[in-house]
Amino acid sequence: MSKYSRDLKIIIANEFLSGESSEILSKKYAISSRQIRYWSQVVAIHGDNAFQPTPHLRHAEARLQALKLMWTNNWSLGHTSAMLNLSSPGLLFVWLDRYHKKGFRGLEYHSRGRPCMKKPRIEPTHSDDKKTIEALKEEIAYLRAENAVLKKLEELKQAKRQQTKKKR
């Protein structure tokens, strides 16, 4: 999610393109003048389609093509980002940095945020027909012990209640 809405970016960029100074707009909206100049560049190139999502740039091949476009035309990061309708030139800088560090693999899309919790491993339950007699006996012994513990806990709770009633 972007910090500023698409509509606000276009309004501010149009104000700049109509002749307003980026310094004045910067003070008016509390946004850096460099950011305002970038937005106006994107709006000047793309018009009403500025700042639309670019899902095709999630693929590593498309990101590499974007970098090659910058290199072949000898464009700056800002101009290339504006031509590609990116939200900020920082994205292209990150791609370039990853490409220099990890090569093509660095351009692959990585999901953001916390990874999903691992699902607990569920042991397959066997029906009683398939269990051996020994396994059934063990299960019965475990259930009886569990039942005895629960009964003892209930007795202790009742005894404690009895004592508090006597004290009153």
The whole-number pLDDT of residue 126 equals 65
The whole-number pLDDT of residue 1 equals 47
What average pLDDT does range 60-66 have in this prediction?
90
Same domain, 26 and 60: no
Q: pTM for this one?
A: 0.60
Describe the crossing of helices 33-46 and 6-17 by its angle, rounded to 10 degrees: 90
What residue has token string 């660095």?
A: 106
Same domain, 95 and 74: yes
What average pLDDT does range 120-146 have in this prediction?
82
Q: Is the pLDDT of residue 116 over 80?
A: no
The whole-number pLDDT of residue 134 equals 86
Measured distance CA(160)–CA(153) in Å, rounded: 11
In a domain, 70, yes or no: yes
In a domain, 14, yes or no: yes
Q: For the chain, what is the domain count?
A: 3
> Per residue in 86-111, pLDDT tens?
888 888 999 999 999 989 888 887 77
Describe the crossing of helices 60-73 and 89-102 by its angle, rounded to 10 degrees: 100
Tokens of 63: 């990101």
Measured distance CA(27)–CA(33) in Å, rounded: 9
> Per residue in 38-52, pLDDT tens?
999 999 999 888 888
Burial 78-90 (b: 16+ CB within 10 A, else e): bbbbbbbbbbbbe
The SS3 assignment for 27 reads: helix
Print the domain residue range for 144. Answer: 131-163
Q: Is the pLDDT of residue 36 over 50?
A: yes
The total of other beta-carbon atoms located within 10 Å of residue 17's CB is 13
Same domain, 62 and 39: no
CB under 8 Å to 26, separation ≥6 — which residues? Answer: 32, 33, 36
Same domain, 65 and 37: no
Same domain, 62 and 46: no
Same domain, 18 and 48: yes
Tokens of 119: 């699902």
Residue 50: closest CA among 66, 36, 62, 39: 39
In a domain, 65, yes or no: yes
Same domain, 79 and 67: yes
Same domain, 44 and 85: no
Same domain, 136 and 102: no
More confident residue, 93 or 125: 93
